[in-house]
Structure 1
Amino acid sequence: MNEKKCPCCGASISFNATECKYCGETIAVETPQYQQAPQYQQAPQYQQAPQYQQAPQYQAQPQSTIPPYSKSKTTAGILAILLGGLGIHKFYLGRIGMGILYIVFCWTYIPAILGIIEGIIYLTSSNEKFYYKYVKR
């Protein structure tokens, strides 16, 4: 393939010819274009990363899930021991139906015995257990 075509007359001419031998037209010589080899840059020199102080570690304080306006277990326990026969501790904890039941059966002294037992249970339970078992219903 040492030949190419003349752009003017279409005759076959030599690949290196500067003019057509048939029509005399000047032909531009194409020089092959070579791609230049990529220039590699020198790898960047990394500096040592600055040393940072470690953030202070805070220990999480156990959060109480009991709202501050909650019913007091001490108050409920004392009411149960002293006035448990009338069911006052049940009214204090918001259990109106049980309070009325204690009043109805107060003449049998059974609510008084149950009140003393419940008062001891209230006073010996933890705050969280008391809240979830008796207050939050």
Structure 2
Amino acid sequence: MGMMNVNDIKNYLPHRYPFLLVDRVLEFEAGKYLKAIKNVTTNEPFFNGHFPNQPIMPGVLIIEAMAQATGLLGFRTMGEEPQRDTLYLLVAVDKARFKQAVVPGDQLEMHVELIKRKGIMWVFNAEARVDGKLAVSAELMCAAKKEDVV
């Protein structure tokens, strides 16, 4: 069990503004689960076009935020910070369900649970909640693989 602030998170994820979508890890247990938050603010760049008069966080970005949380759990499970040549890629999204809109001012609490790991493939159950109410759920498959870095 442990916490991670945004500076710790940046050691594990290559994402940066405006695409770093995890603000803090509240707790995790390597090989089991991770809980993290994303504070949704009106200053997010995607709200300019989605939608100007009724801003809603795009569902695909909620899925991405959950995928970033799985990356953190994956790297913490492996017990190492990622190397420059390691990419952690979202390769499948199954059983995605969108239950409620996420809007500015919401705090997205993500809970990801490792279901299985085989070689470079990882499978997770993921949920995102706002005020305890389910907003999005999905099964995410990710792969950690070495890439040629220029």
- Coarse TM-score class (shorter-chain normalised): under 0.3
TM-score, normalisation: structure 2 = 0.21
Q: Which has the larger radius of gyration?
A: 1
